[in-house]
A = this chain, B = another copy of it.
């Protein structure tokens, strides 16, 4: 028997330790994967890939006691050497190798030139070689930034008094309904995968007032587009005691402000690697659905085809309009038509053809749907009845309303879309770690 007492400091140093302390002239140890080898004859550069970036190690014939020929790309190694300051090296430091210990070796050479600045390969190839392609610095930086977005969401909401919840993904009945539901056999009973945590987060508003969840959702949509996924990460929150749906938009704006600051502060390396320009978030225009449709139609001479929904091209024009007229990267489109919103959406008492709801568009694409929900039990039943819904299988959801719910509302943000638009990519698969679409179930 031995006691485990907690994390021990490692002998090997990470990049921030090498750069922070003045270690010049000292012997240090670092580990990493060999990202590239540049053999210049009498001197060779061995570039290590570590989680925080690259470390340049230099070997010249006189001081190294190993043979360069034994090393190759994708080996993982532990290098011992003297740290020196070097303006030319990445991060301003360089390690003069005195010894190299090989920790592991690949069985075959890499199928992609991951050491290059840009992976010059198709999206299809990148996805087929996903675990390898992601070793490219710029590819992996995307998902580090994605981490920042989720962190920002959670930390901001903790600060605003929200409670994090974990709701089941397998269920008997879907909140959103419709045909786009994955079905499975649950011990000989029919079950579904949840399209959203909608019912659960609403029920939990009655418990904690304010709740959020960051978890996968599943949509069996047969769309094969650049913006659809069949499984994605949804950032959801729901808040009670609101004075109006504007409070939900204000909370989302607060999240975006907080998170862009966080990215600037803690994810500078990745922002620079990807040349990301952070969007404006200090003021986000909110404009009515029917009004912006009209404005866009007038300004760009585009006929309104569908008065009840936004087509992708219209979303793009609305964002263009917001940029040109209000210098805005984001724009809230409010008061969506009631017939295009789910039963639980609260209609506008001033005109029940519209709802107290919104979408948030970011650089031409919808990334959020949100709004106020009906909180009164009888009104909820009425609206369900008007839509021909029976409430079967929704007894528990309805019971929360039967026994009292505060006025409330919330939203869901598609994480991969938010990431995609942040880095101005044109395909959501570029910012999905392992995408699931009509044809892709692997890796």
Contact = CB atoms under 8 A, between A and B. Distances in A.
A111 interface: yes
A184 B182 contact: yes
Contacts of A128: 396
A187 B442 contact: no
Interface stretch (A117-125, A166-174, A299-307): A166-174
A433 B166 contact: yes
Interface of A is mostly: mixed
Nearest to A266: B158
Given A209-B51, A233-B166, A415-B166, A402 B4 contact: no
B6 A257 contact: yes
Q: Size range of the interface on A?
A: 35 or more
A277 interface: no
A411 interface: no
Contact of A284 (B3, B130, B191, B287): B3
Interface string A382-411: 000000000001011101111111110000
Nearest to A158: B151
B203 A172 contact: no
A151 B164 contact: yes
Given A189-B441, A397-B443, 19 more contacts: A2-B285, A3-B283, A4-B246, A4-B283, A6-B254, A6-B282, A12-B241, A50-B209, A51-B210, A75-B404, A103-B407, A104-B407, A105-B376, A107-B403, A147-B164, A167-B434, A169-B218, A171-B441, A203-B443
Interface of A: 1-8, 12, 14, 31, 33, 50-52, 74-76, 103-111, 128-132, 134-135, 140, 143-144, 146-147, 150-151, 154, 158, 160-161, 163-173, 182-187, 189, 191, 193, 199-200, 203-204, 206-210, 215-216, 218, 220, 222, 230-231, 233, 240-241, 246-247, 249-251, 253-254, 257, 282-287, 291, 326, 332, 375-378, 393, 395-397, 399-407, 415, 433-436, 438, 441-443
